[in-house]
Amino acid sequence: MTHKILFSLFLCGIIMPLNAQFANVAIYSLPDSTLILGTTTDQEGAFLLLADNKCSNALLRVSFNTAIHDENNAFFAEYSRSAPIGQITAGVRFENVHSNYYSDDVKMEEQSRHYARWFPNFSYSNTLGGVQMQ
C-alpha cells in the first residue's frame, strides 16, 4: 500500500519597514524559478499566502520595484434625430486599453490587461404631459 503525504503551508507576515505597502510577495520553485503563487501586501505591509505541496523546494521573494504603464484611447460617435414619436439617439464608443504591469523590470502577463472593444448605445426620449422620459 502506497501513502502520499500532502501538506499545506500557511504563510503570513508583515514586510518591514512599515511603509512597505503594495510590495510583491512571491514563491518561486527551485531550481528553475517558476512562479508558483504570489500576492501583494496591503496598506500596512501585511500579506497572506497558502502554499501546497508544490512548494517543497522554493524561494520566497519580496520586491518593491513595480510599475504600471497605461495607454488608453477612446472614440465616441453619436447621431440624434427628432421624429414625430420623440427623440431617437444612437451612438458607439470604442475603447483601446493597454495596461502593462512590471515587477523588477519584468512584464507580468497575468496582471497586464489588453483589450479593444466596441460599446453601442441606443436611446429614445419623449415628453408626456410635461414630463421628460427617456
pLDDT at 18 > cutoff 60: no
Q: Please name every residue paired with 86 in a beta bridge, in sequence order, or none if there are none.
A: 83
pLDDT at 6 > cutoff 50: no
Q: What is the pLDDT of residues 28-37, one digit of tens each?
A: 877 777 787 8
**Spatial distance between the Cα atoms of 69 and 112, rounded to a whole number of angstroms:** 9
* pLDDT of res. 96: 95
Residues 6+ apart with CB under 8 A from 50: 8, 9, 10, 11
**Spatial distance between the Cα atoms of 95 and 119, rounded to a whole number of angstroms:** 8
C-alpha torsion sign, points 7, 23, 70, 119: positive
Q: What pTM was computed for the model?
A: 0.46
The values of phi and psi at residue 53, to 5°, are: -70, -5
Contact in structure between 37 and 27 (CB atoms under 8 Å): yes
Domain boundaries, the chain: 1-64, 66-127
Average pLDDT over residues 107-113: 83
pLDDT at 113 > cutoff 70: yes
* pLDDT of res. 20: 62
Residue 73 is which amino acid?
Answer: N
* pLDDT of res. 7: 47
Query: Which of 7, 57, 2 lies closest to 27, judged by CA?
Result: 57
**Spatial distance between the Cα atoms of 1 and 113, rounded to a whole number of angstroms:** 48
